[in-house]
């Protein structure tokens, strides 16, 4: 069993056994047929992943790692808010006729801000500090810009990352206001594990811990039987993760520079209903 599987199973059991139901409450999310999408939720979930020990992809079912990385690069490297720059259709429902999702996600990372050292966008400021001031306690990014929320097609879910260097290890805390556990958990964990590896490599550091803080971790009502079946499945050892060691510039990475080996996993769950 991978440690990612163990954490996921424990989290899901906690939500199923101890979660608070939204039944009787007015909820925003709806199923495709217009029915309210109710949830069981737990507040304040914290999961820790030691990236030096394993790559935290679930083996209960496969995580499409290449697609997850493609979205990660779209946001953090391309700093794009246009789905035409993305090699999948996961954001199409939120895009306008020109493909824009508004002033969300990658847009926020690309806005330049003034510092005493000069102008940087949020990604370049992280890169600067990791090379020039790695033990700073101020290395962080934030996508939740209140003045721009009204121009975002979707408020950011995973909205803030705090980076912290201990010795030669780069650690990170990912803050997420809300998470659809079945659909998004492994996807987000894999993405930000890769991001830590990327920043570590180009900064002469090693990947350390990823701490994932979820304010509202929930399982939708129509997902409950799917989750119950999923967490009863056999588990396999964690896959091996390799990153092209020749890449020294954050902006030179491509999807092909990341290799996941010996990834054995259960069958994919198809046709998962998604609440919007």
So which residues are the catalytic ones? 157
Burial 11-39 (b: 16+ CB within 10 A, else e): bbeebeeebeebeeeeeebebeeeebbbb
Q: Report whether 244 belongs to an annotated binding site.
A: no
Q: Which domain holds residue 14?
A: 3-261
> Could you tell me the end-to-end alpha-carbon distance of the chain, in angstroms, rounded to an integer?
33
Q: Report whether 275 belongs to an annotated binding site.
A: yes
Does 255 reside within a domain? yes
Does 181 reside within a domain? yes
Q: Report whether 269 belongs to an annotated binding site.
A: no
Cross-strand partners of 158:
176
CA atoms within 13 A on the CB side of 132: 8
Sign of the torsion formed by the C-alpha atoms of 148, 152, 154 and 160: negative
Q: Report whether 218 belongs to an annotated binding site.
A: yes
Does 28 reside within a domain? yes
The confidence score (pLDDT) of residue 221 equals: 97
Closest of 39, 158, 29, 62 to residue 106, by C-alpha = 158
The confidence score (pLDDT) of residue 1 equals: 76
Distance CA 133, CA 44 (A): 31
Does 141 reside within a domain? yes
Does 221 reside within a domain? yes
Q: Report whether 30 belongs to an annotated binding site.
A: no
Tell me if 73 sits within 8 A of 53, measured CB to CB: no
The confidence score (pLDDT) of residue 276 equals: 86
Q: Report whether 235 belongs to an annotated binding site.
A: no
Sign of the torsion formed by the C-alpha atoms of 242, 259, 127 and 188: negative
Domain with residue 72: its CATH number is: 3.30.572.10
Query: Among all chains, which residue has been given the structure tokens 């737990």?
Result: 42
The confidence score (pLDDT) of residue 265 equals: 98
Closest of 111, 104, 102, 113 to residue 75, by C-alpha = 104
CB under 8 Å to 73, separation ≥6 — which residues?
253, 254, 255
Q: Report whether 220 belongs to an annotated binding site.
A: yes
Report the domain count for the chain: 1
Does 186 reside within a domain? yes
Tell me if 127 sits within 8 A of 141, measured CB to CB: no
Q: Report whether 179 belongs to an annotated binding site.
A: yes
Does 270 reside within a domain? no
Per-residue pLDDT of the chain (276 residues), as tens digits, is 799 999 999 999 999 999 999 999 999 999 999 999 999 999 999 999 999 999 999 999 999 999 999 999 999 999 999 999 999 999 998 999 999 999 999 999 999 999 999 999 999 999 999 999 999 999 999 999 999 999 999 999 999 999 999 999 999 999 999 999 999 999 999 999 999 999 999 999 999 999 999 999 999 999 999 999 999 999 999 999 999 999 999 999 999 999 999 999 999 999 999 898
The strand pair at 206-220 and 169-180 is best described as: parallel
3-state secondary structure of 133: coil
Q: Phi then psi for 271, rounded to 5 degrees?
A: 70, 30
CB under 8 Å to 41, separation ≥6 — which residues?
15, 19, 20, 22, 216, 217, 218, 219
Does 147 reside within a domain? yes
Distance CA 211, CA 189 (A): 9
Q: Phi then psi for 185, rounded to 5 degrees?
A: -60, -60
Q: Phi then psi for 28, rounded to 5 degrees?
A: -75, -45
Q: Report whether 42 belongs to an annotated binding site.
A: no
The confidence score (pLDDT) of residue 240 equals: 97
Sheet harboring 39-50: ordered strands across? 20-21, 39-50, 206-220, 169-180, 158-166, 140-142
Helix spans in 77-180 (H): 106-110, 122-132
Token pair of 162 as six digits: 């705090």
């Amino acid at each position: 069993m991978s440690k990612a599987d163990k954490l996921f199973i424990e989290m899901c059991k906690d939500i199923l056994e101890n979660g608070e139901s939204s039944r009787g409450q007015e909820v925003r999310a709806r199923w495709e047929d217009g029915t309210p999408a109710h949830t069981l939720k737990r507040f304040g979930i914290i999961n820790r992943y030691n990236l030096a020990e394993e790559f935290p992809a679930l083996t209960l079912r496969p995580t499409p790692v290449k697609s997850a990385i493609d979205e990660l690069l779209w946001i953090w490297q391309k700093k794009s808010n246009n789905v035409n720059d993305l090699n999948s259709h996961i954001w199409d429902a939120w895009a306008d006729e020109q493909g824009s999702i508004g002033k969300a996600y990658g847009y926020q990372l690309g806005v330049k801000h003034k510092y005493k050292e000069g102008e940087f966008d949020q990604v370049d400021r992280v890169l600067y500090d990791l090379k020039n001031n790695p033990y700073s306690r101020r290395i962080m990014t934030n996508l939740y810009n209140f003045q721009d929320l009204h121009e975002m097609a979707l408020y950011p879910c995973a909205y803030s990352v705090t980076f912290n260097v201990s010795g030669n290890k780069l650690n990170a805390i990912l803050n997420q206001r809300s998470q659809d556990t079945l659909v998004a958990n492994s996807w987000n964990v894999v993405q930000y594990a890769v991001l830590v590896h990327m920043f570590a490599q180009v900064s002469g550091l090693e990947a350390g811990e990823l701490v994932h803080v979820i304010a509202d971790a929930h399982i939708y009502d129509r997902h409950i039987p799917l989750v119950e079946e999923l967490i009863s499945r056999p588990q396999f050892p964690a896959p091996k993760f390799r990153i092209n060691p020749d890449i020294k510039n954050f902006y030179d990475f491509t999807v092909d520079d990341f290799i996941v080996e010996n990834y054995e996993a259960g069958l994919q769950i198809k046709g998962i209903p998604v609440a919007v």
